[in-house]
A = this chain, B = another copy of it.
């Protein structure tokens, strides 16, 4: 049994008897394509070192234990171990504007130049006004329209290159760092902890899947095929050299707002996740409800943005103003309490927010 092929001498019987331990590798395997970063390895004793002790941390530890301990009545077979994560506001910062919308902003100018009739139409006129507060008040559906309009007409390769180029240089105005560094360290630990216990981790975003897929592997260790999002159509065709191409079409196929997120998760993967993490009534509420209502042990976690100092505080559940994003409504808060979800207080539950702190 040499390091370069450690399994060549292992019999099939051994492989099957140890198969329950094998999914533990997938997280590590994926991380080979990710740059080394602070906190990349779980601490030996505590898999969630950036979490303060409390009900939510304990609920996550308990959930993993009872669904993976072979003597547990709630043991989940390896093929069914699936966890779904919203992205904006759950895995990374969404305030004051979704990162994807920032990406779209300077693409609206050229779009309107090519199609001047859009100039006086909402939401384009608000976008062109440059008034970020007004832009922040646009509805998620308005923002969809901007996304679909600005992310169409190019080949999938051209779009990919454009996103990568933007991500490499764009910086958040407050932290002066690339957006891909504004990911929540406590959630990175949850992703790795779940994968280390055989869970396959998925993103279920209300945003456009195509955008998130360009960094999901490097940033979260999540493969492109495990990113479900709002998605537009693709059209097969040929370029001038008669090579086949796929073009992004301005037509919405999968709409992940509202119940669409869990409806489309089933459409894509045919699984009810055992664990789900979200933060917004606009697109996570039904997913969290559906997951929690499943048989056996299920974990639904909702992130409350209540840390004005280290991150942001917003949303009706705290009596704060509503915005188009991250709407943690009072209704969802009551539902969480009634149905036994866990609510994360970023202020109290998270020891640190970002890896760079």
Q: Which residue numbers of A lie inside 8 Å of B, CB to CB?
A: 3-7, 12, 14-25, 28-30, 32-33, 41, 77-79, 82, 156, 200, 202, 209-210, 213, 217, 223-227, 231, 233-236, 243-244, 246, 253-254, 259, 262-264, 266-271, 286, 289-290, 293
The reply to whether A77 and B7 form a contact with Cβ atoms under 8 Å apart is: no
9 A-B contacts (beta carbon < 8 Å): A4-B20, A5-B18, A7-B21, A23-B29, A210-B270, A224-B269, A234-B266, A236-B263, A268-B268
Given A244-B293, A263-B233, A270-B156, is A28 in contact with B12 using a C-beta cutoff of 8 Å? Answer: yes
The reply to whether B259 and A236 form a contact with Cβ atoms under 8 Å apart is: yes
Given A244-B290, A267-B233, A267-B234, is A32 in contact with B6 using a C-beta cutoff of 8 Å? Answer: no
- Smallest beta-carbon distance A25→chain B, Å: 6
The reply to whether B32 and A18 form a contact with Cβ atoms under 8 Å apart is: no
- Smallest beta-carbon distance A261→chain B, Å: 9
The reply to whether B12 and A41 form a contact with Cβ atoms under 8 Å apart is: yes
Given A236-B263, A253-B254, is A224 in contact with B270 using a C-beta cutoff of 8 Å? Answer: yes
In the complex, the chain B residue whose C-beta lies closest to that of A234 is B263
Q: How far, in whole Å, are A271 and B227 apart by their CA atoms in the complex? A: 12
The reply to whether A22 and B25 form a contact with Cβ atoms under 8 Å apart is: yes
Chain B residues whose CB sits within 8 angstroms of the CB of A209 once the complex forms: 270
Chain B residues whose CB sits within 8 angstroms of the CB of A236 once the complex forms: 259, 262-263, 286, 290
Q: How far, in whole Å, are A264 and B286 apart by their CA atoms in the complex? A: 25
Chain B residues whose CB sits within 8 angstroms of the CB of A24 once the complex forms: 7
Which of A217, A223, A227 has the most chain B CB atoms inside 10 A of its CB?
A223
- Smallest beta-carbon distance A200→chain B, Å: 8
The reply to whether A79 and B263 form a contact with Cβ atoms under 8 Å apart is: no
Chain B residues whose CB sits within 8 angstroms of the CB of A234 once the complex forms: 263-264, 266-267
